[in-house]
Amino acid sequence: MADISPKQLEDVRAEALRLSKSMGISPAKIAQAFTLLIKAGMSVEEAIAGAGKSAVEFAQVSGVEAPQAAEFMKVAMNVFGISAKEAADTLSAAADSSETSIASMIESFALVASVAKGTNQSLFGLSQGLAVLARYGIKGEEAGTGIKTLLVKLLAPTDEAKKALAQLGLSMESLVDNQGKLLPLAQIAEVFAKSMRGMDKSARDAMLTNEALVNVFDVRGIRVIHAFAEQGAKGFARIATAMSTSKPSRAALSAGVRHGAAPTAQSMSLIDPQDRHTTW
């Protein structure tokens, strides 16, 4: 906050006090949320004009503290280059379209965000993946660690990883695009789905204890592969459709209504923008 003038600092304090009175939240927590957004590159004026309040409202409906909500927004802004509002709306829509909560998704996001962008993933696609996993009871820390492990192992595959994939009838070439970048999660899921289409349930379940696979991807990574293979591109598309039709209730946001799935996005494209020109 070294670049903030005394006048701007006073404006932040005044707005934090004003919101504290109207929203019943500690002014210190609100000020901390403002600070995190400003450190992420948002101007003081933007934070005061509404972004800071959005972070506090997002915290109210998600059941997390305002600084934690702002931290998520800050990381999403820096990692994916999106606005604070888009970050909140995307995660809210995904939670609203699955059997999980925003708080659980924030926990997952904190673990996987560091590798998501570097592995050609978007926040929309990552949120879809977390929503898919929630249908299998894979949430929070388990979901975040599982996706992170999978992406890291696929990003720089060892000989052991390549051999493990071969047991599923896969090669790394099937999981990257023509520029050598990892495919988005929805497309990775479809590759898994196609490779396992001929497996019966017992064969699929045996994957979960396959020593070669577990040694490379860990049990959590294998559970992610198993869930993604069962859902495939169609499962991800269903989540995308649900996210696109999910609408937020600003009145509920302002009232701080708590709901397990939370209010959601005002508008969302049917498919992750980076997937729109891909045909499965």
* Whether residues 195 and 230 fall in one domain: yes
Q: What is the pLDDT of residue 247?
A: 54
Q: How confident is the model at residue 168 (pLDDT cuts 50, 70, 90)?
A: confident
What is the Cα–Cα distance from 175 to 154, expressed in whole angstroms?
Answer: 8
* Whether residues 192 and 68 fall in one domain: no
In a domain, 280, yes or no: no
Of 52, 45, 50, 57, the residue nearest 31 (C-alpha): 52
Residue type, 201: K
* Whether residues 102 and 164 fall in one domain: yes
> Measured between alpha carbons, how far is residue 199 from residues 170, 207, 225, 232, 275 in Å?
14, 10, 14, 14, 27
* Whether residues 195 and 134 fall in one domain: yes
Note whether 273 and 120 are within 8 A (CB). Answer: no
* Whether residues 49 and 106 fall in one domain: no
Q: What is the pLDDT of residue 5?
A: 86
* Whether residues 125 and 77 fall in one domain: no
In a domain, 3, yes or no: no
* Whether residues 228 and 145 fall in one domain: yes
Q: Is 199 helix (H, G, I), strand (E, B) or coil?
A: coil
* Whether residues 271 and 150 fall in one domain: yes
For the stretch 51-104, pLDDT in tens is 888 888 888 888 888 888 888 988 998 899 988 889 999 999 999 999 899 999
Of 212, 213, 272, the residue nearest 90 (C-alpha): 272
> Measured between alpha carbons, how far is residue 268 from residues 38, 49, 243, 245, 259 in Å?
26, 23, 7, 8, 21
In a domain, 1, yes or no: no
pLDDT at 254 over 70: no
* Whether residues 69 and 204 fall in one domain: no
Domain-terminating residue out of 58, 81, 104: 81
Domain-terminating residue out of 81, 109, 127: 81
* Whether residues 71 and 184 fall in one domain: no
Half-sphere exposure of 145 (CA within 13 A, CB side): 10
Domain-terminating residue out of 81, 96, 125: 81
* Whether residues 92 and 231 fall in one domain: yes
What residue numbers bound the domain in which 36 lies?
Answer: 8-81
For the stretch 108-162, pLDDT in tens is 999 999 898 889 999 999 999 999 999 999 999 999 999 999 999 999 899 999 9
> Measured between alpha carbons, how far is residue 146 from residues 6, 55, 122, 215, 223 in Å?
45, 27, 17, 14, 7
Q: How many domains does the chain have?
A: 2
Residue type, 260: G
Q: What is the pLDDT of residue 266?
A: 30
